[in-house]
Amino acid sequence: MNIRKLHTDEHPPIDLLVLADPSESLVEEYLHRGECFVAESDQKIIGVYVLLPTRPETVELVNIAVIEPMQNQGIGKRLVIHAMQTAKSRGFKTMEVGTGNSSIGQLALYQKCGFRMTGIDSNFFVKHYAEEIFENGIQCRDMVRLAKEF
Ligand code: ACO
């Protein structure tokens, strides 16, 4: 598997990006302001992440996804580690990430990669998404904010 920056003349893998964020308009906005990286295997895109600078020395991992047949094989963790190395090499001191209260696997992944919880954005998903989101039998209402210092 090779992880590389998406070239400016390439189409971003929207089908994959909307797995992480069902709002295509928010995804388009992140892509416009951030940097998109893709993981490839046999010339096929199997994973993606987007880094978005938010404040001086702070970058947010706004979108990370792995194609469904290849989930739970360690690729997501490799993408998070690659994202942290990329951000560090560019001089960022803090990486932030936000995920739903119902995103149990994602909360596990980020904490296994060293992120700590820093806050809750209450009702974020109720306010900003037209459709109700359910995962693991739990309604996704709040965004759990996590951060890691380098
Ligand atoms: N309980 C405990 N640990 C768990 C659980 C769980 N329910 N689910 C996952 N994990 C752990 C795994 O055991 C693994 O830890 P380990 O390496 O110590 O064994 C770790 O989480 C990561 O597992 P990976 O196999 O690397 O994860 P994967 O390749 O499936 O990628 C991802 C994770 C990107 C979340 C993938 O499942 C995906 O694309 N999901 C759909 C899109 C999505 O939800 N993206 C994130 C949205 S939030 C955002 O983008 C900021």
DSSP string, 97-113: EEEETT-HHHHHHHHHT
| pTM, 2 dp | 0.95
Tokens 């209450």 locate to 122
Nearest to 129 by CA among 32, 25, 53, 35: 25
* Residue 73 CA, ligand 1 centroid: distance in Å: 9
Query: For 10-48, how does the pLDDT look when each residue is reduced to its tens digit (9 = 90+)?
Result: 999 999 999 998 888 889 999 999 999 999 999 999 999
- The confidence score (pLDDT) of residue 137 equals 98
* Residue 90 CA, ligand 1 centroid: distance in Å: 25
Percent above pLDDT 90 for the chain: 93
Ranges of beta strands (E only) in the chain are 2-5, 35-41, 44-55, 58-66, 94-100, 116-121, 134-135, 138-139, 143-149
* Residue 53 CA, ligand 1 centroid: distance in Å: 23
Q: Choose one of 50, 71, 134 to mutate for the ligand 1 pocket test, by most ligand atoms within 8 angstroms of C-beta.
A: 71
Cα 26 from Cα 40, distance rounded (Å): 24
Give the pLDDT mean for 53-77.
Answer: 97
